[in-house]
Chain A
Amino acid sequence: GENVEQHPSTLSVQEGDSAVIKCTYSDSASNYFPWYKQELGKRPQLIIDIRSNVGEKKDQRIAVTLNKTAKHFSLHITETQPEDSAVYFCAAIYSGNTPLVFGKGTRLSVIA
């Protein structure tokens, strides 16, 4: 089955700097890669996703890149703000009936 590794487990950045979180996956058949943000005491929420036929996707200050050959994908947050502080989870799946497999999460702290 799929296995997703996520690094780093914690990340602190100064406000305005960029943050990068990286994930690797094991199943070359996986074709959908979402990222979830979980603020303290809240539910996880989907913030961006990418499919295997695309190499990069952007949405304002966040972007995700995918390298299928190396089986890794990354979340990039630019111009970080204190409200970006949260735990971020990557996930991977082969679209069908199997459920998402999540990484262990990255706790991002943006220091004002």
Chain B
Amino acid sequence: SAVISQKPSRDICQRGTSLTIQCQVDSQVTMMFWYRQQPGQSLTLIATANQGSEATYESGFVIDKFPISRPNLTFSTLTVSNMSPEDSSIYLCSVAVATNEKLFFGSGTQLSVL
């Protein structure tokens, strides 16, 4: 397993601003992912955070809106840029320790955009 620290746990932001979410893992992991979960909805993959290279984004998500960093095997950040109310959601960091199978999730960041 892995212990994942995600912060902030929640934030209320103004339209047009940006928020950076941090994800710290207590051990080196092979894969890190960022998911979005809108109220009452499923888990939608935003991107795979690649160590030392650009993230791999899913359809509908772009780097300009959701820039991601992963400087090492234990840390990643997701920035939600130029926010609008439609970005209000829970953002979850997740990691796979060995293979891409068993995912462990951070506690999430609940974002509200006014």
B37 CB → nearest A CB, Å: 9
Asked if A44 and B43 sit within 8 Å, CB to CB, the answer is yes
A46 contacts partner chain B, Cβ-Cβ < 8 Å: yes
B53 contacts partner chain A, Cβ-Cβ < 8 Å: no
Within 8 A of A (CB), among B85-114: 92, 99-108
Asked if B43 and A99 sit within 8 Å, CB to CB, the answer is no
Name which residue of chain B comes closest to A101, CB basis: B45
Asked if A45 and B105 sit within 8 Å, CB to CB, the answer is yes
Asked if B43 and A102 sit within 8 Å, CB to CB, the answer is yes
Chain B residues with Cβ below 8 Å from A45 are: 105
A43 CB → nearest B CB, Å: 4
B77 contacts partner chain A, Cβ-Cβ < 8 Å: no
Asked if B101 and A102 sit within 8 Å, CB to CB, the answer is no
* Complex interface bits, A84-112 against B, C-beta within 8 A gives 1, otherwise 0: 00000100010111111111110000000
Asked if A95 and B42 sit within 8 Å, CB to CB, the answer is no
A32 CB → nearest B CB, Å: 5
Chain A residues with Cβ below 8 Å from B102 are: 34, 46, 49
Name which residue of chain B comes closest to A107, CB basis: B40
How far does the alpha carbon of A50 sit from the alpha carbon of B31 in the complex, in Å?
21
Asked if B42 and A46 sit within 8 Å, CB to CB, the answer is no
Chain B residues with Cβ below 8 Å from A105 are: 41-42
Asked if B106 and A43 sit within 8 Å, CB to CB, the answer is yes
How far does the alpha carbon of A102 sit from the alpha carbon of B44 in the complex, in Å?
8
- The answer, among B33, B100, B101, B105, for a CB contact under 8 Å with A43, is B105
B108 CB → nearest A CB, Å: 6
**A46-B104, A105-B41 given; 10 more Cβ-contact pairs under 8 Å:** A34-B103, A43-B92, A43-B106, A43-B107, A44-B92, A93-B100, A95-B101, A96-B100, A99-B45, A103-B42
Residue contacts A-B, CB under 8 angstroms, 20 given: A34-B103, A43-B92, A43-B106, A43-B107, A43-B108, A44-B103, A45-B105, A46-B103, A46-B104, A49-B102, A89-B42, A89-B43, A93-B100, A95-B100, A98-B100, A99-B45, A100-B45, A100-B101, A101-B45, A105-B41
Chain B residues packing against A (C-beta within 8 Å):
31, 33, 41-43, 45, 48, 92, 99-108
